[in-house]
Amino acid sequence: MTQVKKPLLFIYLLCLVFYAPRIYSQESKPNVILIYTDDLGFGDISFCGGKIPTPNIDRLFKDGLSLTNAYSTAATCTPSRYSLLTGEYAWRAKGRGVAPGNASALISAGRQTLASVFQKAGYKTAVVGKWHLGLGGKEGPDWNGEIKPGPLEIGFDHAFLIPATGDRIPTVFVKDRRVVNLDPKDPIQVSYGEKIGDWPTGKENPELLTTMYSHGHDQTITNGISRIGYMTGGTSALWRDEDISDRLVSESFLFMDKAEENPFFLYFSTHDIHVPRIAHERFQGKSDFGPRGDVIIQLDEAVGALLDYLERKDLLDQTLILFSSDNGPVWDDGYVDQAFELIADHDATGGLRGGKYSAFEGGTRVPFVVFGPGIPKGESRNHIFSQVDLLASFAGLLSVEFDPNSAVDSENHIDLLLGKSQSGRQGLVQEAIQNVLTYVSEEGFKYIPPGKGPDMVPWGPKIETGFSEKPQLYRLDQGEYENLAEKMPEKVAQLAAELDAIIFK
């Protein structure tokens, strides 16, 4: 008997040696794609009640785990993205508000980030899409030379970037550290002060515009659209807005193709559905809701293209997909694209008050889904979760040591993300415009401290700020309409103290 068993044991051990790493890499080191959309609300997804069909995003919801009380850390892009990558609330230091298109890098070279956590665990890492976290040293990016520091200095192996936003110049892509397709004989010049060069502007030559601006956005015209900021030069490098989504998808394929044997982390940071909302010709007029609806369809197709890719490469069962948004929805965000006029019964916030920029929930409570192997299908959790937690959560999953003094606000909630636990945060902070900080507690209360400020976002998007000179307390299951602060002064005091404890920690 023993003579028979020994070779069997040997074969068994051999199998373990060969198969264990595969099993490990499939189960513990899944590929991770973080689809980070721009200005997308709950109600923009047809699974959540949206009127524009989003079958591919719906698939993530139907077959994944949705966190219904997940928050971006801010109601605008730059601070949300800063927190997402660093694990630190952006408001802890000045200068992390919406960044101009020539801002220098906001995250210092060498700093630990979500990407560096993946890199440490042996992943190939890439960011493809919107960056909006500044590039270059103190002087800002050298558009005609090496653009450094940037994503490659903080944990990304590869970058294909919209440097800031679609509505900020320069309207060129940056690949790793260089502007794509730049002709050195036609250097780029950029100014966020005085006009530079002689290219037409929206203000001086509105007759050249294919999309009119409504507020701001009246400076240099590229591709028929006037933007924020002035530029001249770099003609061969200018993007065509209609092609952005397709380009981001194809660049993602290139990256995933090259990752080969390594697991990969792809931060797929879409331009959609930010302004200017210029869908590819094949989507123009496809929704009944004008350009805002068309780019939702385009976004959905991009998600579908990623899913198809994974299916084709047989990677679907080895890849976790996270899907979320950097802040809540907005309608008129600076261009006349009829987003407001055509909204009809499409409720982009999904019933939340406010929207992008706001201290109300519409500013920061965003769609959040996890989809992939082992994730409960079609379930949801209502525990509170903040995007600032991704760093500690993935460090936990991958057993990577991380510096909690740098990711000071990040908590490990990987079990919640994977659907294995029934608990979340105790409380979290959100940042509205004008640095207003609000607080949500695990019991479902929202506290907005008293402060001065306008009722409506001042520059025109027709969104309530949520600011008031009185303290505000809401029960979130009842919406933010009945202010309970006077009825529940102890609760106000408790939440104000909890908020202070986080601010001054």
Q: Does 228 bind ligand NG6 (CB under 6 A)?
A: yes
Residues 276 and 295: their CA atoms lie apart, in Å, by 10
Count of CA atoms in the C-beta half-sphere (13 A) of 113: 27
Question: Hey, which residues does 464 pair with through a beta bridge?
Answer: 456
Residue 152's binding partner among ligand NG6, Ca ion, none (Cβ under 5 to 8 angstroms by kind) is none
Which residue type sits at 401?
Answer: E
> What span, in angstroms and rounded, lies between the C-alpha atoms of 138 and 161?
20
| Residue 96 touching ligand NG6 (CB under 6 A) | no
Which stretches of the chain bind Ca ion, using CB under 5 A? 38-39, 77, 326-327
- What separation, in Å, do the N-terminal and C-terminal C-alpha atoms of the chain show? 66
Which of 291, 334, 419, 449 binds ligand NG6 (CB under 6 A)? It is 334
Closer CB to ligand NG6, residue 371 or residue 467?
467
Under 8 Å between Cβ of 136 and 146: no
Residue 353 partner contact from ligand NG6, Ca ion, none using kind-dependent CB cut-offs of 5 to 8 Å:
none
Q: Nearest to residue 187, comparing CAs of 223, 220, 144, 238?
A: 144
Dist CA 222 CA 167 (whole Å): 10
- Considering beta carbons, is residue 65 or 433 the nearer one to ligand NG6? 433
Alpha-carbon span 407 to 394, nearest angstrom: 12
Report the nearest approach of ligand NG6 to the CB of residue 390 (Å). 19
Which residue among 98, 343, 484, 496 contacts ligand NG6 (CB under 6 A)? 98
Residue of minimal CB distance from Ca ion?
A: 77
375 scored as a contact of ligand NG6 (CB under 6 A): no
Cβ neighbours of residue 156 closer than 8 Å, sequence gap 6 or more: 115, 119, 125, 126, 127, 267
Residue 463 site contact among Ca ion, ligand NG6, none (CB < 5 to 8 Å, cut-off depends on kind): none
* Rounded least distance, CB 18 to ligand NG6, Å: 48
Q: Is 337 in the site for ligand NG6 (CB under 6 A)?
A: no
Does 77 interact with ligand NG6 (rule: CB under 6 A)?
yes
How far, in Å, CA of 409 to CA of 90, rounded? 10
Query: Cα separation of 188 and 142, whole Å?
Result: 9
Q: What is the smallest separation between the CB atom of 327 and ligand NG6, expressed in angstroms?
A: 6
Residue choice 167, 176, 251, 389 for contact with ligand NG6 (CB under 6 A): 167
Structure tokens at 343: 């909204």
Among ligand NG6, Ca ion, none, residue 10 binds (CB under 5-8 Å by kind):
none
> Choosing among ligand NG6, Ca ion, none, which partner's interface includes residue 132 (Cβ < 5 to 8 Å by kind)?
ligand NG6
227 binds ligand NG6 (CB under 6 A): no
Residue count of the chain = 505
Closest listed residue to residue 298, CA positions, set 261, 246, 262: 246
State in angstroms the smallest separation of the CB of 387 from ligand NG6: 14
Q: Element (H or E) spanning 264, and its range?
A: strand 264-269
Q: Which does residue 140 bind out of Ca ion, ligand NG6, none, counting CB within 5 to 8 angstroms by kind?
A: none
Restricting to residues 269-288, name those near ligand NG6 by CB under 6 A.
274-275
Which among 314, 291, 303 is positioned nearest to 26, based on CA atoms?
314
Give residue number: closest CB to ligand NG6: 216
Q: Which stretch binds ligand NG6 (CB under 6 A): 142-150, 175-183, 214-222, 344-352?
A: 214-222
What distance in Å separates the CA atoms of residue 292 and residue 342, rounded to the nearest whole number? 9
Positions in the binding site for ligand NG6 (CB under 6 A): 38-39, 76-77, 98, 132, 165, 167, 215-217, 228, 274-275, 327, 333-334, 459
